Amino acid sequence: MKSHKVTMLGTGLIGYFYTRSLHEQRRPDRVHTVYSRNAQKAKQFAEHWGIPKHTSDMAAAINDPETDTVVIGLPNDLHLEAIRLAAAAGKAILCTKPLGRNAAEAKQMLDIVEKAGVFHGYLEDLAYTPKTLEALSKVQRGVVGRVLWVRSREAHPGPHSDWFWNFEQSGGGAMVDLGCHCVEIARNYIGKDVKPVEVMCWAATQVKPIEAEDNAIALVKYADGAIAQFEVSWCFRGGMDLRDEVSGTEGVIRLDHFMRTGFEIFTAVGEGDYVAEKAESTKGWLFPTADEVHSLGYNHMFTDMFDAMDHGKPPMETFYDGYVVNAILDACYKSAKSKRWEPVELVDWRGRTDITEPSVYVDYDDKHYLIKEEKMPDGKLKVILKEKASGKILQQVS
Ligand SMILES: NC(=O)c1ccc[n+]([C@@H]2O[C@H](COP(=O)([O-])OP(=O)(O)OC[C@H]3O[C@@H](n4cnc5c(N)ncnc54)[C@H](O)[C@@H]3O)[C@@H](O)[C@H]2O)c1
């Protein structure tokens, strides 16, 4: 196993989580150089995590000859510039979500890394939570049958830094910030080869005095007829609500990643001043997470990224995925304005183009299609059928 030396850009919340997931456990890959625009913050961060070098010069951090990988944990409007510099330095690039503020920006980033021929990974941690990975493997093994409907929800009381609330810097509100997770979670379950076709979206600014949306709901329709539904909020009270549901022709999987994980505490006196990300109280009933970075997927994510790098293959999440996510979100913004279904515009589609919605007709016998079977309370079996010739619906009881 190779060990990688990382240039970490940013010492905010995500820089902290990323560094913690790399340094807290016995991992071969370590942050070697950290950049913060504030020299004092860079120094403190480096001391805290035992990082050999720190600087307030972003280009110098990226060009450090001792590092091979650049991890971008900067505000959304700074991703592009960081990617340009890192690609020019020939480094592997791992960029946080959302990749771009919109699809055009994300496409520029994709083109830059592909032209430079450097490794690129999209740090979509919620596609890598232990529960998501396990559910994904079950879905891929057919445990829920054909995927019909994926619901994904991320809601919390709003982000922790000024720049998120500034449209120019963030590129949008709860949708671009949280919807990016939901969209990619659903793409993984439905299948990344299946084209997202069109979207319908409601978005509103219900509470916060900002230009962007603080609440939104969207439906994303895929070429195989599957629907992805996402709900996002920057004004949900009570902590961080991260839930997913995958329904298929043969079953359903429900996941709660953060608030109702089976770990609940009541304390009248409180304990410390931090419970979990976006938790709103430190007393009363609390919902901590046993291992926050692990349950949010960061460890599995970095393992996949560095393993892929070492084996010369793409990781599960690449810049291409980040671009598709941005394209879906662009369509959501359009639909929220037009109040109509809007097409997902993908100038670069690399998945399948031959997928259509499957037939709903399942043969029961030569003369009938099956609608459903049900065991009744009296022990009898009811079979509901459609006669092929007449279209008549009938039931057989045995
Ligand atoms: N689950 C996740 O994957 C996840 C969670 C949180 C944030 N993020 C993403 O990480 C990125 C950073 O978010 P964050 O929560 O760490 O934000 P933050 O505000 O906590 O930290 C941002 C960092 O960038 C620095 N910075 C801010 N403005 C700058 C400027 N003009 N020039 C140079 N540096 C500047 C700050 O000093 C800080 O080090 C965003 O793209 C965000 O969407 C991802």
pLDDT in tens, 356-387: 999 999 999 999 999 999 999 999 999 999 99
357 in any annotated domain: no
CA of 186 to the centre of ligand 1 (A): 25
Closest CA to 161 of 152, 153, 170: 170
42 and 132 both lie in a single domain: no
Q: Which amino acid residue places its CA nearest to atom 20 of ligand 1?
A: 12
pTM assigned to the model = 0.97
pLDDT at 10 exceeding the cut of 90? yes
pLDDT in tens, 235-262: 999 999 999 999 999 999 999 999 888 8
Distance CA 378, CA 38 (A): 73
For residue 266, the cross-strand partners are: 285
Domain stop point among 79, 99, 125: 125
Per the prediction, the chain carries an average pLDDT of 97
Residue 117: which region, alpha, beta or left (left: phi > 0; alpha: psi -120 to 50)?
left
Tell me the three state secondary structure of residue 336. Answer: helix
> What does the pLDDT read at residue 228?
98
CA of 10 to the centre of ligand 1 (A): 6
Write phi, then psi, for 395 (nearest 5 degrees): -130, 145
Contact (CB, 8 A) for 24 and 48: no
389 and 333 both lie in a single domain: no
pLDDT at 18 exceeding the cut of 90? yes
120 and 212 both lie in a single domain: no
CA of 82 to the centre of ligand 1 (A): 13
Which helix (DSSP H) or strand (DSSP E) does residue 238 occupy? none
pLDDT in tens, 32-72: 999 999 999 999 999 999 999 999 999 999 999 999 999 99
pLDDT in tens, 270-296: 978 889 999 999 999 999 988 999 999
311 in any annotated domain: no
Tell me the three state secondary structure of residue 132. Answer: helix
CA of 187 to the centre of ligand 1 (A): 25
Distance CA 384, CA 370 (A): 7
> What does the pLDDT read at residue 381?
98
> What does the pLDDT read at residue 271?
78
pLDDT at 26 exceeding the cut of 90? no
Closest CA to 248 of 330, 140, 161, 351: 140
Q: Percent of the chain scored above 70 by pLDDT?
A: 100
Which tokens is 58 given? Answer: 């972003």
Q: How confident is the model at residue 25 (pLDDT cuts 50, 70, 90)?
A: confident
Q: Which amino acid residue places its CA nearest to atom 6 of ligand 1?
A: 14
Which tokens is 230 given? Answer: 């996402």
156 and 214 both lie in a single domain: yes
For residue 368, the cross-strand partners are: 387
107 and 171 both lie in a single domain: no
Distance CA 80, CA 99 (A): 9
161 and 239 both lie in a single domain: yes
What is the identity of the amino acid at 44? Answer: Q
Q: Quickly list DSSP for 69-93.
A: EEEE-S-GGGHHHHHHHHHHTT-EE
> What does the pLDDT read at residue 260?
86
Q: Which amino acid residue places its CA nearest to atom 38 of ligand 1?
A: 12
CATH number (domain holding residue 258): 3.30.360.10
222 in any annotated domain: yes
Which tokens is 4 given? Answer: 């990688």
User: CA distances (Å), 345 to each of 68, 334, 341, in order?
Assistant: 34, 11, 12
> What does the pLDDT read at residue 273?
85
Report angle CA 138, 176, 72 to the nearest 5 degrees: 85
Average pLDDT over residues 393-397: 97
pLDDT at 105 exceeding the cut of 90? yes
The upper half-sphere exposure of residue 21, i.e. CA atoms within 13 Å in the direction of its Cβ, equals: 23
pLDDT in tens, 171-221: 999 999 999 999 999 999 999 999 999 999 999 999 999 999 999 999 999
Tell me the three state secondary structure of residue 99. Answer: coil
CA of 390 to the centre of ligand 1 (A): 63
> In testing the pocket of ligand 1, which one of 16, 37, 51, 165 has its CB within 8 Å of the most ligand atoms?
37
356 in any annotated domain: no
Q: How confident is the model at residue 20 (pLDDT cuts 50, 70, 90)?
A: very high
Ligand 1 site residues, Cβ closer than 6 angstroms = 10-15, 36-38, 73-76, 78, 96-97, 123, 125, 161, 163
Domain extent for 372:
368-397
pLDDT at 1 exceeding the cut of 90? no
169 in any annotated domain: yes
Q: Which amino acid residue places its CA nearest to atom 8 of ligand 1?
A: 14
> What does the pLDDT read at residue 261?
87
Q: Which amino acid residue places its CA nearest to atom 27 of ligand 1?
A: 75
Q: Percent of the chain scored above 90 by pLDDT?
A: 96
143 and 111 both lie in a single domain: no
Ligand 1: which atom is nearest the Cα of residue 125? 3
> In testing the pocket of ligand 1, which one of 49, 62, 74 has its CB within 8 Å of the most ligand atoms?
74
pLDDT at 232 exceeding the cut of 90? yes
**290 vs 167, higher pLDDT:** 167
Strands (E), the chain: 5-9, 30-35, 53-55, 69-72, 92-96, 120-123, 147-155, 196-204, 215-222, 227-233, 241-248, 251-256, 265-267, 284-286, 342-343, 368-375, 381-387, 393-397
The dihedral formed by the CA atoms of 346, 352, 353 and 356, expressed in degrees to the nearest 10:
-110
Q: Which amino acid residue places its CA nearest to atom 33 of ligand 1?
A: 37
63 and 147 both lie in a single domain: no
Based on the structure, what is the number of domains in the chain?
3
Rg, C-alpha atoms of the chain: 23
Ligand 1: which atom is nearest the Cα of residue 76? 41
363 in any annotated domain: no
CA of 310 to the centre of ligand 1 (A): 27
Ligand 1: which atom is nearest the Cα of residue 11? 39
216 in any annotated domain: yes
144 and 110 both lie in a single domain: no
19 and 29 both lie in a single domain: yes
Contact (CB, 8 A) for 288 and 276: yes
19 in any annotated domain: yes
CATH number (domain holding residue 58): 3.40.50.720
> In testing the pocket of ligand 1, which one of 7, 8, 14, 289 has its CB within 8 Å of the most ligand atoms?
14
Q: Which amino acid residue places its CA nearest to atom 15 of ligand 1?
A: 13
111 and 141 both lie in a single domain: no
188 and 323 both lie in a single domain: yes
pLDDT in tens, 320-354: 999 999 999 999 999 999 999 999 999 999 999 99
